[in-house]
Amino acid sequence: MSAIFWKELADHFGSKRFIIFFALILIVAGGAVYLAGTGFAERPDATGPFVYLQLFTSSNGGLPSFLTFLSFFGPLIGVLLGFDAINGEFARGTVSRVLAQPIWRDSWINGKFLAGLAALGIVLSGIILIVVGLGIFALGFPPSGSELLRLLIFFAVGTVYLGFWLSLGILFSIVFRHAASSALASIAFWLVFTLLLFMAADLIANQVAPVSASSTAAAWAKNEQIRETVLRFSPVALFEEATSALLLPSYRGLGMVEILTRHQVPTNPLSIGQSMLIVWPQLVGLIGLTAVCFAISYVIFMRREIRST
């Protein structure tokens, strides 16, 4: 499997579309972080004790924050690496020749998935290190140990999140014979999870528990609870909830309850352990979605008949 892994990893980093898309994301994300840092320089009193974490969550100007940008456009990198991973080999007629060698089927698909996951991890770690480096250059002091640990956990969560989209792309690459079909299916799911499901959550919540300006706090809380329950089916929402607690130490995951009882909720930062207690259901959900999606791909591929051409 190691030979497949290194070969696929080299192919990923040598792909022109991968390099172009990575450069675009790096430029836009770097611009968002630069604007956030500029805002800190103009308003130093607005920064808190976790300045480096605010670089990832703050926005200034017309660009969204780095976290928002990653949750919305990051899936496209995973899809890009997976949508033609299998059917592209079938189209080139290389599957039968590769599997005719002493290479097991499971080693082949596992090597492809692990290589894609490693490429995504390297890309994400590179972007995070660049952001931290720009922060050191602009602010003049390094991040604290607590901030570095939170960023390390954020990197792990982000890699799992991008890995889900990679496994989804591989699944459609196995199900569909043509790369164009698998790409369209992957993009359709991306649009559903990033846009349509958020609109559907508001619609369902307002239909089940309608609220108005004169509604009670209990009615607003029920409406928000229904909305959050619907959004839990989206990996994008799970990722945003998990990373919000990691990059915003004062986040307590109370949603509408925190807004309605703001004067009763403490605002002191939580420890890393307490933040992990808040987000562990979301982390387990992301890991489970990734594992299930790849397991389905694995089973379908192992049962597929492959004929020599």
pLDDT digits (tens, 9 = 90+) for 201-247: 889 988 888 887 777 778 888 888 888 888 888 899 999 888 988 88
Q: How confident is the model at residue 259 (pLDDT cuts 50, 70, 90)?
A: very low
Rounded percentage of the chain residues whose pLDDT exceeds 70? 83
End-to-end alpha-carbon separation of the chain, Å?
24
d(CA 83, CA 194) in angstroms, rounded, equals 18
C-alpha separations of 265 from 204, 258, 259, 268, 287 in Å: 28, 7, 9, 9, 31
Q: Residue 156: its pLDDT value, please?
A: 94
pTM of structure: 0.87
Residue 80 has pLDDT above 80, yes or no: yes
Among 60-69, 261-270, 292-301, the minimum mean pLDDT is found in 261-270
d(CA 5, CA 2) in angstroms, rounded, equals 5
Q: How confident is the model at residue 262 (pLDDT cuts 50, 70, 90)?
A: very low
Cβ partners under 8 Å of residue 215, min gap 6? 223
Hey, how many other C-beta atoms are within 10 angstroms of the C-beta on 242? 28
d(CA 173, CA 184) in angstroms, rounded, equals 11
Packed helices 179-191 and 66-82: angle between N→C axes, nearest 10 degrees: 160
d(CA 96, CA 85) in angstroms, rounded, equals 15
Q: Residue 44: its pLDDT value, please?
A: 56
Among 41-45, 154-158, 195-199, 219-223, the minimum mean pLDDT is found in 41-45
Asked whether 78 and 291 are in contact (CB, 8 A), the reply is no
